[in-house]
Structure 1
Amino acid sequence: MAASALLHHAARPRAWVCRQCLLRQAGPRVPVRPITQGHLRKTIEAEWQWKEQAKEIKAGHKQSFLSMLEERGFVHQIAGTRKVLDNVMTDKRIAAYCGVDPTAASLHVGHLLPFMVTFWMYLHGFHAVTLLGGATAKIGDPSGRTTAREHQASATRKANMAQMHIQLKKLWNSVERMGRKHGYVREWAWRRALMNNNEWLNKLDVVEFLRVMGPAMRLGPMLSRETVKKRQQSGDGMSFAEFSYPVLQAWDWWHLFSSPNGVQLQIGGQDQFGNIVAGIDAINHIRHNNNDPVIGPKIYDPKKPAQDYLKAPYGLTVPLLTTSSGEKFGKSAGNAVWLSPEMTSSFDLYGFWVGTSDADVERYLKLFTFLPLPTISKVVEEHKLDPSKRIAQHLLAREFLDLVHGSEVAERTAAQHRSLLGRPSQPTDASNETSDAFDLEDSRGKPLRASDPRYFANAASGNKFASKVTAENAPFLGTFLPRSLVYDCSFAKILYAAGLVASKSEGWRLVSNQGAYVAGKPSQVAAMGDSLKWTPIKYHDSGIPEKFIFDENQLMLRIGKWKIKIITIIPDEEFAAKGLTCPGWNAEEGRPEKEGRGSKEDEI
């Protein structure tokens, strides 16, 4: 019996498996992170807490979040009904995003206003996304512009993107710290993200893009926009690329809206209202005509029309940043006050806010600080008792610098201003110049405006009399290095020459500990690409920095999390002719210093 059974089993035909199934079985297995019981418990607790909070708001025991924004002066326009948006933000922990294109090397004060709404949402438990427009910066938003944007070199655009990415990361760290400082205790359900639309727009299939977004964007509303009309009437016209910008912005929102985060609210400046409305119309069209069995029920449920407001998109714009006299701030206005200390020093930035008029200071305290409103009211009342002390202005300057430059810099700069302003007058020309620079009244006895050039140690850093900032004259935050100090050199030597480390030995230690990074991948052909990925510098990479050069003469290095350097490589003759110098360069002889044992500190 046993033998016959064995023969019968051996004669059975083997199961046939198709090649596709074999490939699927042999393919790499992607690890799936399981949802633990602890995660489910925290999710349920967070939902319960939000519902309890909603009950308190509806009962009138607690202020709604939208009312708080209105009280602080953040709300200019709402795309949708105000009551509906208020109900949505009360009933649901929605996600919101605010974006910026890196068309300059730094954010300025005007950029920060819509971001402050995003920061406040995060501190109140909403999901917040800051979006860097690495892809859309190639085109540029035409909103509010009478002429086309000037073309930016690829290297400049990538450098701007790197600088602004680091700047936004620093801002988020400061928001966490400032939140703790003002009593906002971080909860498990708080979510924030910094994203770059390079991630999806660079991989977007044009046919798929037109199939999804094309039917949702109508030519009539796009042609009737004020910016398009003005450009057509001026005779300059508008390129198809600029005309299509709102479509790309709408795709950004659709990508975030249809993602697991489900971003329902877009926050922008006053000039973004048209783009936001266009995005809402496009998303609603896609929602009502989407047949995807996976995404469809998540974004629109025709069986529950009464609950559709909880899934719909909304928009919110902040007012244009102006003084009480109507003066605008911004790069286009030519008086941008930059957040980067390399473009507007901490001293100048502090002086800018100290020079705020009494008519504006309370509004700016509400917009640019996380101080509670009762505290602001108390400080303003104290300020009115003796306006010459400018108590409110100093508080505004200190809180703002604490947010954008850090607490240590804020305290140090405040001390510098106190010592300078408190110094008695001396009968010298220098002291008279200093006294005039910080006089709070002009020769006619009228108070100086915040943008008065006498408030700035660096005249080009933020006053309205400075020349207009363009792609050509924007401050360069990188450095030049001669070709001989890059090619056939170690990364340690380049780090030293670029000023990122104090010695070559320190550069070697940094490389050995994998604390230094280079942008891009080795042996990249012609261009680095726009994703700006960082590669840790390895010890064995010490002789091949030239493999990481992109756009013919650009090299980008980073140490730690924040400090980056964009290096432009030029011929030795040009470096010497410009009168430039750097560590490891003999300026007198116009060539690299001779290698020698030198001090023990620089030995390798």
Structure 2
Amino acid sequence: MATNFFDDLEGRGLVHSASEGARDHFAAGPVTGYIGFDPTASSLHVGNLLQIMALARLQRAGHRPLALVGGGTGMIGDPSGKTRERQLLTRAQVEENVEGIRGELGRFLDFSGENAAQLVDNHDWLAGLGLIEFLREVGKHFTVNYMLAKESVARRLEQEEGISVTEFGYMLLQAYDFGVLADRYGCTLQMGGSDQWGNITAGMELIRRTRGRSAHGIVQPLITTSSGAKFGKSESGTVWLSPERTSPFRFYQFWLNTDDRDVEHYLKAFTFLPLNEIRQILGEHAANPAARTGQRRLAVEVTQLVHGAEGLERAERATGVLFGSRPAQELGAAELLDVFADVPSTEVVRSRLEGEGLQVVELLAEAGVASSKGEARRLIAGGGIYLNGERLTGHEQRVRMENAIDGEVLLLRKGKKDSYVVRLIR
């Protein structure tokens, strides 16, 4: 049985704080540990990935992971790390989000075998919990002074809006969760981001006071970027784990665009690569930064982890089309529009491509690739115009429906970088 989980986290720079004795706790035998995920959306995002990886690392080290989906606490919202009150979700919204998250967590954890992972929902025990019972079993063990001293609460009190009683009580609900998991599953460890330290230590305190035994907590540093930008955001917004919300291509590009200064940290945090292999990759990267060896390996590893081999292949194929090394016909119309969502586009009536088709110089002028038909002729003569990735060789060519990808899209390119999309409409 492997017991080096804590050492592995520490070696990767992923231990921000840990309870006293946490390291030795793993040497005593298999540990059951949990992390909670509140269902604020129907998909998790890359900001959650570090915690998902922590559960997977725990399982790979021979311990037992519990993934808690907050179907109950999600009705309230965690104030940790937030400067203002969350908007409350309806029960129907929470249930829909819980189901989406369940499916995603199943891609990272093994729910069979000796140390099988287990997925739990705190709605199962919070929904029937009465107020009087809660105040007697939990509330009496915490003073208001104790709760006010927690960073998540103190920060909110500095804001003009303050904190509602609803969110103020979130810490106690999370502490209660830890107690329930300790009783039902023998759970002795809770993990999370560093902003969860106050909530986690509250749970440890509750277990000590009410069960007379110790529990442990480990929190990981919050991921930041060297540029100061918020991690997990791209120009298109939040980077989700769901392929329906963020395509494998855009997910791959997010990691490929990692700043050189962040490559080492991200390889350690978001991959299962051994540290000695990471050092080798970083050595190659340092020798030739322009080759972006570190970013390429990072993008491959994380995309395959989240989207599987098929998703990675789609992302690499789309990237090849984006940079002109693969023909556009390798993608369907929907993928092509996703890849080239940010380039100039124009609409052309489909019937103009039927029969004899449309003169290519006319299409180039209409699409803005050339300022006039004359310029279009000169660009073609110079070998600088491509249709669906293939160089045009004559200005007399005509574009027909058979050239359209899925009968919907044409991709034009001028030179190496300037791409244009033509959408066919009825």
With normalisation by structure 2, the TM-score equals 0.72
State yes or no: 1:246 paired with 2:246: no
Cα distance in structure 1, aligned partners of 2:232 and 2:202: 24
SS at match of 2:238: coil
C-alpha distance in structure 2 between counterparts of 1:149 and 1:388, whole Å: 43
Please give the secondary structure, in 2, of the residue aligned with 1:119. helix
CA gap of 1:285–1:457, structure 2 versus 1, over 3 A, is: farther
SS state at 2:221 partner:
coil
Residue of structure 2 equivalent to 1:274: 198
Which residue of 144, 153, 160 corresponds with 2:97?
160
Could you tell me which of 350, 368, 389 is aligned with 2:270?
A: 368
Q: Distance in 2 between matches of 1:422 and 1:71?
A: 40
Following superposition, the deviation at residue 229 of structure 1 comes to 3.4
Pairs within 5 Å for 1:437-456: none
SS at match of 2:93: helix
SS across alignment from 2:190: strand
1:287 aligns with 2:206: no
Partner of 1:200: 125
1:297-376 to structure 2, matched below 5 A, reads 300=213, 312-329=214-231, 335-376=237-278
Per-residue deviation, 1:456:
7.8
The Cα shift of 1:457 comes to: 5.5
The structure with more radius of gyration? 1
Alignment pair present for 1:67 and 2:7: yes
1:217–1:345: structure 2 CA closer, same or farther, 3 Å change rule? same
Distance 1:334 1:415 in 2: 20
Gaps of 5+ in 1: 1-49, 55-63, 177-185, 289-299, 301-311, 425-454, 460-604
SS of the aligned residue for 1:191 comes to: coil
Question: Could you say which residue in structure 2 is the equivalent of 1:441?
Answer: none
Whole-angstrom distance in 1 between the partners of 2:11 and 2:318: 34
Contact 2:256 2:299 in 1 (8 A): yes
CA contact (8 A) 2:318 2:339 kept: no
Identity %: 40
Point out where structure 2 has 5 or more consecutive residues left out of the alignment: 327-337, 343-426
SS in 2 for 1:172: coil
1:102 matched to 2:39? The reply is yes
Letter of the 2:10 counterpart: E
- Corresponding residue of 1:384: 286
User: 1:276 offset after TM fit, Å?
Assistant: 0.8
Query: Against the structure 1 CA distance between its residues 72 and 231, is the aligned structure 2 distance closer, same or farther, given a 3 Å change threshold?
Result: closer
Q: Deviations over 1:100-154 (max 9, x none)?
A: 1001121111111122111101011101101000110100001122211113244
The structure with more strand, counted as a fraction of residues? 2
Q: Which amino acid aligns with 1:236?
A: E
1:414 equivalent in alignment to 2:414: no
Counterpart in 2 of 1:393? 295
Point out 4+ residue stretches in structure 1 off by more than 6 angstroms: none
Distance 1:157 1:334 in 2: 25
Cα distance change on mapping 1:334 and 1:217 into 2, 3 Å: farther
Letter in 2 for 1:271: D
The letter of the residue matching 1:416 is: A
Partners of 2:204 and 2:32 in 1: how far apart?
A: 15
1:526 maps to what in 2? none
The question of whether the paired residues in 2 share the 8 Å contact of 1:366 and 1:376 is answered with yes
Preserved CA contact (<8 Å) 1:348 1:458:
no
Deviation at 1:407, TM superposition (A): 1.2
Q: Tell me the distance in 1 between the aligned counterparts of 2:201 and 2:272.
A: 29
One-letter amino acid of the counterpart of residue 282, structure 1? L
Distance change >3 Å, CA 131–CA 456, structure 1 → 2: farther
Task: Indicate the RMSD between aligned Cα atoms, in angstroms.
Answer: 2.4
Letter paired with 1:151: L
CA drift at 1:317 = 0.7
SS at 2:319's partner residue?
helix
Q: Secondary structure at the match of 1:234?
A: coil
Deviation at 1:366, TM superposition (A): 1.2
Does the 8 Å contact 1:216/1:283 carry over to 2?
no
Q: Any residues of structure 2 matched to 1:22-37 within 5 Å, and which? A: none
How far off its partner does 1:324 sit? 2.1
1:142, 1:242 within 8 Å by CA — same for their partners in 2? Answer: yes
1:284–1:256 CA distance, 2 compared to 1 (3 A) = same
1-side partners of 2:149 and 2:237: how far apart? Answer: 30
Shift of 1:192: 1.0
Structure 2 CA distance for aligned equivalents of residues 320 and 370 of structure 1 = 19
How many Å apart are 1:422 and its aligned residue?
A: 5.1
C-alpha deviation, 1:335, in angstroms: 4.9
CA contact (8 A) 1:74 1:117 kept: no
Contact 2:248 2:315 (C-alpha < 8 Å) held by counterparts: yes
Question: Residues 285-333 of structure 1, C-alpha deviation per residue, up to 9 Å, x if partnerless?
Answer: 1123xxxxxxxxxxx4xxxxxxxxxxx11111111111123433258x9
Once residues 413 and 146 of structure 1 are traced to their aligned partners in structure 2, the CA distance between those partners, rounded to angstroms, is: 36
1:597 alignment counterpart: none
1:87 to 2:24 alignment? yes
* Secondary structure, counterpart of 2:117 in structure 1: strand
Q: Name the aligned partner's letter for residue 145 of structure 1.
A: K
Q: 1:129 — aligned with what?
A: 66
- Residue 225 of structure 1 deviates from its aligned partner by 2.7
Deviation at 1:337, TM superposition (A): 1.6
* Alpha carbons 2:42, 2:97 under 8 Å: kept: yes
Q: Please list the CA deviations of residues 471-492 of structure 1 after superposition, one character each: whole Å capped at 9, or x if unmatched.
A: xxxxxxxxxxxxxxxxxxxxxx
Which residue of structure 2 lines up, in the alignment, with residue 116 of structure 1? 53
Match of residue 587 from structure 1: none
Structure 1 residues 322 and 233, CA gap change in structure 2 (3 angstroms): closer
Q: CA deviation at 1:158?
A: 2.3
What is the CA deviation profile of residues 371-408 of structure 1, one whole-angstrom value per residue up to 9, with x for unaligned ones?
Answer: 11222222222222322222221111111111111111
Provide the residue aligned with 1:257 in structure 2: 182
Matched letter for residue 103 of structure 1: T
Query: Contact 2:56–2:108 at 8 Å: present in 1 too?
Result: no
Number of residues of Structure 1 aligned to a counterpart in Structure 2 = 330
| Inter-partner Cα distance in structure 2 for 1:391 and 1:216 | 53
SS in 2 for 1:268: strand
Q: 1: CA distance between counterparts of 2:292 and 2:320?
A: 12
- Structure 1 residue 195, shift from structure 2 partner: 0.9
Matches of 2:320 and 2:201, distance apart in 1: 47
